Amino acid sequence: MQHHTNSRRLLPSGKRRPCPVCQRIKDQDCRMSPDLELVLCRHPRTNLVPWHDGEAGFVFVGNTTDQRCGVFVREDAIDRRQW
């Protein structure tokens, strides 16, 4: 699965930048694009069916190839980009 974003640099989660999916702040395990269109959340999903998280506005699109992170795309970015 290949993902595209405006910036190749993914920013780590932390106290000043919580993960928008799981709100993780205790470490830098989650990563996100600067525009928040793509989030790699350290909590991979066992149910691999795409689903919408209405509260946070992200859609789960699958796990990373190493199964360590869930891949989330901001809902309003899905129509604009090819994920």
* Dihedral sign from CA coordinates of 14, 9, 58, 30: negative
- Integer Cα distance of 44 and 15 in angstroms: 21
What sign for the dihedral angle of Cα 27, 73, 83, 52?
positive
Region for 36 from its dihedrals, namely left if φ exceeds 0, alpha if ψ lies in -120 to 50, beta otherwise: left
Helix, strand or coil, per DSSP, at residue 82: coil
Instruction: State the chain's mean pLDDT as an integer.
Output: 78
- pLDDT tens for 3-39 read 454 447 999 999 999 999 888 888 898 999 999 899 9
Q: What predicted TM-score, i.e. pTM, was given to this entire model? A: 0.73
Is the pLDDT score of 1 beyond 80? Answer: no
